[in-house]
Every structure is written in C-alpha cells, then in structure tokens.
Amino acid sequence: MTEKLERWFRLSERGSDVRTEVTAGVTTFLTMVYIAFVNPQILSEAGMPFGAVFVATCLAAAFATLVMGLYANYPIALAPGMGLNAFFTYGVVLGLGYEWEVALGAVFVSGVLFVTLSILPVRRWIIDAIPRGQKLAISAGIGFFLGVIALRNAGIIQGSPATLVTVGELTTPPAVLALLGFSAIAALSARRVPGAAIIGMLGVTVVGLVLGVSDWHGVASLPPDPTPTLFALDIAGALQVGAITVILTFLIVDLFDTAGTLIGVAHQADLLDEDGRLPRIQRALLADSTGTVAGTLLGTSSVTSYIESAAGVGAGGRTGLTSVVVAGLFLGCLFLAPLAESIPPFATAAAILYVACLMARALKDVEWDDITESAAAVVTAIAIPLTYSIADGIGLGFISYVAIKVLAGRWRDCSPMLLVVALVFAAKFIWL
C-alpha cells in the first residue's frame, strides 16, 4: 500500500511520507471542520432543512477535496465557502426574495460557467482582468459582512431607525458567550492550537448547556435524510434576467477566491514553478468548479478552496494524500449531525466573527499610496456590509474603479472585461 501511495502521490519527490501527510490532513480538517456546523445554520435561515444541508455540506466537501487530492495532487481542502453562503441566504433569499431553490439554481449555473472557464485557455486572462486591489477589497468586504452577521446573530448589535445599527443587549448570555468564544478562538489560534475554531465553539456550547441557554441533541447518529435538498435546484428560475447579476457575483467571488487561495497555499508549500505559476492549475480549478456543481445537486452553496489548508501545509503536507485524508474525515463527520444541531447560534457566531477578522486582513495589501486604487477598494469593502449585499458592493466598487480611472486619465488600467462587468452592474442599478 505504501508503494502504491508513493507512486500515485509522488511523496518522496516532494519530500514527504505517508505519516506526515496523514498528520497534515488531520490538522487541516480540524481547522476547517467548523464549516460542517456553521454552514447548515446559515442556510437554514434561508428555509433549507438543517439536516439535509449538513449532509450536503459534508458530502460536497468530501467530493471536491477528493478530486483535488486524487486528480490535482495538491494538499488543498475544499468545502462550502464562508461569505458565499452568507450571500446565498442574506443577499439572494432574504434580501432579493428568491426561493432557496432558485438560489441553488443560480449557484449551479455559476458552477457550470466556472467549469467551462477552467477548461478554456482564457482562464488566466480572466483571473488577471480584475484589479488586485478589487480582489483584496472583495475579500475584506465579505469579511466585514460576515462580522456584521455574527454580531447580529449574537445580539451584540441590533437595528435602529435612527442610526441604522446600534449596540444590543451586551449582558445577555448569548452576547457574553459569543464574545468569550471569539476571544478563545483568537487566543488559541495565536498559540497555534489546531482546531481552535471548533474548540472555541464546543467550549461555549458546553457553557451554554450549563447555563440553560442551549439545547443538547446528542453526539452521533445515522446521517439525516438528504432528500429534501437533493436535486431541488430551480435552474429555470435562476436564468431569469433579474438573477443574472446574482449568477455573476457567485462566479466572480468563487473564481477569484479560489485562485487566490490556490496560489497562497501553493506558495507556502513551495509548489509554484520558477515563474510563480501553479502547475496543473486547470485540474485544481476543476476540482473547485465541479465541487460547486456537485454541491448544488446535493443542496448547498458554492464550494471553494480553503485557506485553512495552509495549516496542513505547515504540518508538512505536500501532496494530494493530505486532501484524501481530509475527505475521509468529512465522510466520518456525517454521523455527527446531533452534535451539529446542539451548537447554538452564539457559538457559531464566535467562529464567523473570527473568520471575518482573517478575511479583513486583505486590506493591508491594497496600494494605499495610489488613490485611484485605494479609493475604489474602500468603496467595495464598506459597500458590501452596508448594502447587506456582496453583489451590490462589488458592483459599486467596480463602477467606482472605472469612473475614477477614466476621470484620472488612466483608462488603460481598466481591462475590457472589467469595463463590461461595470456596465452590467450599472445597467442593473438603473433598470432592475
């Protein structure tokens, strides 16, 4: 068996071995398993059955990660993406009023487009077409968006007719426990403890049980029934004119989030070539895009590569065997549905707020000395949470970027694709 693994994954060529890869896989899984508990809670607010989404989350993560490991041979794990699930629920279903079946259809169409772009040789041109500052601003803006959602779910902030938002009841147990959980996760991460997010979530869940503010449903059982969301997507509804920008937003965020994560993790693992490019990027992108398509058929939002894979790389993971281990652990997670239902919203809010902090760090790499770059980046980053829509935030940012560059006499900085996307969003704001 060891010899077969060696031949398939080329372990010695990359300076690794089976034991190291298994350790790396466990490490990556522990850092990202929180998604199995958080994703069903977020999508259930859109009206989707919690148990079915839990199964879809685990299966989609296992499928996409297995493709990444066996086909692309990279130590990168995938799962339904944070931010994209929030846009699905709060932006598309609750914000625009679409049924969750239509939202799944929109994700499916974006996934098919992503598969097509992954195969075509224009994929690198498309990835390079969006300015780096806007990519960073989108990541940070989604982080701020998640932060607002987390604080709201914990009752730390609430709506106000006078100031739009104001402080909530900070002395209530959910608010206190959410802040305690967030602080614990951040502190454990600073101490480089694997699984900091899941440890923090489970810790405050136990405290909540003791205080009587959360319910216990058990630890393990047979997986829930997946049929309520299985093949429930509405593709025809998603193809109506008003949903085009929704599809475009899912595609843009997934494409550039994936590309950035792939390059970042591969750089840490020293897997880039002499030109700084990722070999077999087509295979890696196909793992992500086919994962999104499979995820919608199962009943979950867009699947994307996880930056938490860097933890496994840090533990020595260099091949797809790391991903195969992660996939196997997600399959094992299918039997933990009662535990997932036992984790209350204030516990998941702690993890979401921590992820928000990680994503917001992207702003540090914006070219602050170039006002034509930084001004548009700020618009994107603040518009996403304040409009409560990733799509509208991206649209306002792209329009601002093009307008600033043209008026500054630097229109050549705008790629043809960016101009088209900005015009599409402008038309949407004017006529839809």
pLDDT band at 72 (very low <50, low <70, confident <90, very high): very high
Whether the CB-CB separation of 67 and 290 falls below 8 Å is answered with: yes
Residue 273 has pLDDT above 90, yes or no: no
For 303, the 3-state DSSP assignment is strand
Q: What is the pLDDT of residues 182-193, one digit of tens each?
A: 999 999 999 989
Whether the CB-CB separation of 24 and 316 falls below 8 Å is answered with: yes
Q: What is the pLDDT of residues 315-341, one digit of tens each?
A: 889 999 999 999 999 999 999 999 999
Residue 281 has pLDDT above 70, yes or no: yes
Q: For residue 333, what pLDDT is reported? A: 97
Rounded mean pLDDT, 137-160: 92
pLDDT band at 432 (very low <50, low <70, confident <90, very high): low
Residue 401 has pLDDT above 90, yes or no: yes
CA dist 160 → 95, 320, 357, 387 (Å): 18, 49, 24, 15
Rounded mean pLDDT, 4-25: 90
Residue 128 has pLDDT above 80, yes or no: no
Using CB atoms within 10 A of its CB, is residue 282 exposed (0-12), middle (13-18) or buried (19+)? middle
- DSSP state, residue 233: -
CA distance 375 to 86: 25
Q: For residue 260, what pLDDT is reported? A: 77
For 151, other C-beta atoms within 10 Å of its C-beta total: 23
227 backbone dihedrals φ, ψ, rounded to 5°: -65, -30
Q: What is the pLDDT of residues 30-46, one digit of tens each?
A: 999 999 999 999 999 99
Q: For residue 14, what pLDDT is reported? A: 87
Residue 276 has pLDDT above 80, yes or no: no
Q: What is the pLDDT of residues 360-377, one digit of tens each?
A: 988 999 999 999 999 999
Parallel/antiparallel/unpaired status of strands 164-167 and 78-80: unpaired
